[in-house]
Amino acid sequence: MISIVFIGFGNVNQHLCNALHKSTNASVIQIFNKSVKSVSSEVSNIPFTTNISEIKQADVYIIGIPDDAIAAVSERLPFRDRLVVHTSGSVAMNTLSTHNRKGVFYPLQTFSKARSVAFKVIPICIEAEHASDLLLLQHLGHILSEEVLEIPSEARAKLHLAAVFVNNFVNHLYHISEALLSEHQLDFGLLHPLIAETARKIETLTPSEAQTGPAKRNDKKTIENHLHLLEGSEYSALYQLLTNSIRDQFK
């Protein structure tokens, strides 16, 4: 049975807490957050504190706070030589204070308040200074997911960057499409089947195999028509850059 204290209670820690609290192999013994937070009824029986000096003893402390606060908060923890991990994709393990044993527990997924998450298939990327801590994080990861991988900070930073491309940037392209359609009072829902199929395709084809469209074919007339439609639009430069990048890939 692994005992856990959550430090910070934003999106990621809330989802982790909900999932781990249900498990019989883990025990969430406390939530610390600098301010009072309304917690969902499923986890309302977990002791909650806003006082850093009241934090209890546990096997692992999971920090889920903004990236730029991780160093300072880990430095302020009033105990020594315990396992303290953060959940960030882009922060190096060594950013954590040397007061405690360092580790990382990064679930590679996008979390929203409004949506529950199926942890089973989500890669959990772990890292630790000590072999015994790595083992503990492996056990903890496997409580949630079938996919637990040891990934060092440098590779994790690249993974996080890649995740920004397929999540943040892809979602922004959805936003642009929605804006383009709204000019003709067309419903964004029209694109849902295409969006779903685009995502499903790369589960069986490589992105190169799945690529289609005017840029790949270097269909100058269609590209010209599109740029004409985008005249004066803030998205014209983006269209041009993405089109050139695809052309370069296939030339």
Between residue 184 and residue 223, which ones bind its own copies under the rule CB under 8 A? Answer: 184, 186, 188, 190-208, 210-217, 219, 221-222
Interacting residue with its own copies among 2, 39, 46, 246 (CB under 8 A): 246
CA distance 221 to 210: 22
Q: Does 46 bind its own copies (CB under 8 A)?
A: no
CA distance 168 to 213: 22
Q: Does 177 bind its own copies (CB under 8 A)?
A: yes
Interacting residue with its own copies among 47, 116, 170, 218 (CB under 8 A): 170
Contact 59, 2 (CB under 8 A): yes
Nearer to its own copies, 27 or 177 (CB): 177
CA distance 106 to 124: 6
Q: Does 142 bind its own copies (CB under 8 A)?
A: no
Q: Does 171 bind its own copies (CB under 8 A)?
A: yes
CA distance 124 to 101: 19
Which stretches within the chain are classed as H helix? 11-21, 70-76, 131-144, 153-163, 170-182, 192-201, 207-210, 214-217, 220-229, 236-250
Q: Does 234 bind its own copies (CB under 8 A)?
A: yes
Binding window for its own copies (CB under 8 A); candidates: 15-23, 45-53, 60-68, 74-82: 60-68
Q: Does 72 bind its own copies (CB under 8 A)?
A: no
Q: Does 146 bind its own copies (CB under 8 A)?
A: no
Nearest by Cα to 224 from 213, 240, 238? 240
Q: Does 116 bind its own copies (CB under 8 A)?
A: no
